[in-house]
Structure 1
Amino acid sequence: MQTIPVKKYSPRYVAEDNAFWQRHITAFSVSGMKRNAYCKMHDVNYDRFCYWIKRLTDGTAKKIKRRVAASLPSVPLLPVQLKPRSVPDEVTPLCTVNFKNGSVLHIHQERALAVLLERWN
């Protein structure tokens, strides 16, 4: 008589049920991050994450993101004019803003900082 080996799941995967993945998919959809960045930040397996997005959302992840984005208040953008770098590298900015998507904004002028603070408050 031949015995069939029983596949043992690691304890980590046992806790990964529908609710676990639904929470991550919802958090991801409002984070504004790319899938791979979200997975790295939350220590989630990228391939499993993509599988569960397809399984639970039936391909409607973009619709969820659009719906969430539409529900957020719109923020007017400030006009930006890019100029060649004229400040020496050793000048320290007044403020540095790090965004969730990895972008960095260095602010060197007091007026620009005041305008941003006024808009963000």
Structure 2
Amino acid sequence: MSAARHRQAATAVEAAVRATPGVSEVYRSGSLVSSIVDAGARLIGLRGDAPLVVIDGEGANAHVAVSIGVDAASGAAQTCRAVHAAVAESLPEHGLSGAVLSITVAHVVEEADIA
């Protein structure tokens, strides 16, 4: 899969995640080092619009990583199940059926945080 197709797939997956009820935010996925490198690249204008979802590999061997914030009222487990379903539904059109999905809850937004 070309870099352009990876980017297109990651953008579509990110849109599906953002549209999922209970998701308050989507965060950059990856290791601390890759996040620091990416933040530096964005600061100098190299990757300002890069998708926050990471897709490595191709087809059924691909790995899709998503980091989310969830609304406490929606519940992390229920929101993760909904995100998993939304991502799994969006993958076949990008040739990624059967990809391994990793969903990380990075933040839970309490009601006091929302107000």
Fold conserved (TM > 0.5)?
no
Task: State the structure with bigger RCO (CA 8 A, min sep 6), 1 or 2.
Answer: 2
TM-score (norm 1): 0.26
